[in-house]
Amino acid sequence: MKCLVTGQSGLIGSHLVDLLLKNGHEVYGISRTNRNKIPGSRNFCLDLRDTKKARETIELIAPEVVFALAANAAEGKSFFSPIEISTSCIDTFFNTLVPSIRTRKLKRFVFTSSIAVYGSIPTPFKESNNPQPKDIYGISKLTAEKALKVMSQVYGFEYVIVRPHNVFGPRQNMSDPYRNVVTLFMNQILKNEPYVIYGNGEMKRCFSYIDEVVEIIHRCGFEDVAGMIFNVGSNLSWSINELSAAIQKITRSKVKPTYLPERVNEVQQAISDHSLLERVFGYNDTPLEVALRRTWKWAKAQGPQKYKFTRLELSHPHVPKNWKSRA
């Protein structure tokens, strides 16, 4: 099968390319960087917000299955750079979908959304819940989800939507200062500098190791699950303080966290229900300590990374003090 992976240089995208190649598919990737270039796939380096270049490239590929992962998943940053975050979700989505439809080869479109669409509704989040996103990123993802359903009805291709959460593991972008809490902590430890915990650190997250998540997304491309939405990730919730303690233990670090005020509109409990996932696919969690050890081994091999700050579009008193570049 001819497959296109957008966001192929990212954590999930690069591992998905590996898995697709392993299973004998013809794989093409599109990403803004070649940070995790995978031998065996044909990669195009471009920004999918460029409509003309996106159309030309995707019509050249003419994919049968599209795995749409490209986005800037920085929920907290989205309040202060709403144009950057929303266009990285919505523009890249339409600039991938429309030329894929135009080729008349598209069979299935697998869209990677996010549990950010749920906001702060009561947990555990269920696929049948009415989403109420609290940030621009979640709003953008939900908009794309709704558009995908409508376009599927009109143009006759299949779709699957996955809503993963707090995915981490080797190949995560350690130079991103705005997200990826596991590798943010590890990068600071490698620098022997304090890492930041926002608020009291008691907000709950279910940290999901890359291997299990990418397996599910891969299967969504080919199994009999068209028209379905899946929460994808771990059932085990940890507070940020508990995560910090686990990383301290594994790294044997004496670096201690610094506590800063809670981020604006921070979701306190982000816990999904995975009954549907487990019934359709099954799901085996890698124990958090094992997953953290694997990630730490990889992070040490990379060495400390310099953060890449971008200029924020808006200034506000709630911009975290550790985000150096401001409007």
Residue 325 has pLDDT above 60, yes or no: no
- What's at 256, amino acid-wise? K
Residue 115 has pLDDT above 70, yes or no: yes
Domain boundaries, the chain: 2-168+208-232
Mean pLDDT computed over 290-300: 98
| Residue 192 pLDDT grade (very low, low, confident, very high; cuts 50, 70, 90) | very high
Q: What would the pLDDT profile of 125-170 be if each residue is shown by its tens digit?
A: 999 999 999 999 999 999 999 999 999 999 999 999 999 999 999 9
Q: What pLDDT shows up at residue 39?
A: 85
Q: And the tokens for 117?
A: 């669409």
Residue burial 98-108, b: 16+ Cβ < 10 Å; e: rest? bbbbeeeebbb
- CATH architecture entry for 2-168+208-232: 3-Layer(aba) Sandwich (3.40)
DSSP, res 45: E
High-pLDDT (> 70) share of the chain, %: 99
High-pLDDT (> 90) share of the chain, %: 95
Residue 122 has pLDDT above 90, yes or no: yes
| Residue 275 pLDDT grade (very low, low, confident, very high; cuts 50, 70, 90) | very high
Q: What pLDDT shows up at residue 21?
A: 98
Mean pLDDT computed over 56-65: 98
Q: What pLDDT shows up at residue 82?
A: 97
Q: What pLDDT shows up at residue 123?
A: 97
Average model confidence (pLDDT) across the chain: 96
| 106, 100 contact by CB (below 8 A) | yes
Q: What pLDDT shows up at residue 37?
A: 79
Q: Global pTM?
A: 0.96
| Residue 191 pLDDT grade (very low, low, confident, very high; cuts 50, 70, 90) | very high
Q: And the tokens for 300?
A: 């040490």
Q: What would the pLDDT profile of 229-249 be if each residue is shown by its tens digit?
A: 999 999 999 999 999 999 999
| Residue 182 pLDDT grade (very low, low, confident, very high; cuts 50, 70, 90) | very high
Mean pLDDT computed over 255-264: 95
Residue 327 has pLDDT above 70, yes or no: no
* N- to C-terminal Cα separation, the chain: 46
Q: Encode 204-223 in three state secondary structure.
A: EECCEEHHHHHHHHHHHCCC
Identify each DSSP E strand in 229-321 by its residue range.
229-232, 238-239, 258-260, 269-270
DSSP for 305-320, written as a single string = --------SS--TTS-
Cα–Cα distances in angstroms (integers) from residue 10 to residues 38, 93, 167, in the given order: 11, 16, 11
| Residue 35 pLDDT grade (very low, low, confident, very high; cuts 50, 70, 90) | confident
Mean pLDDT computed over 191-215: 97
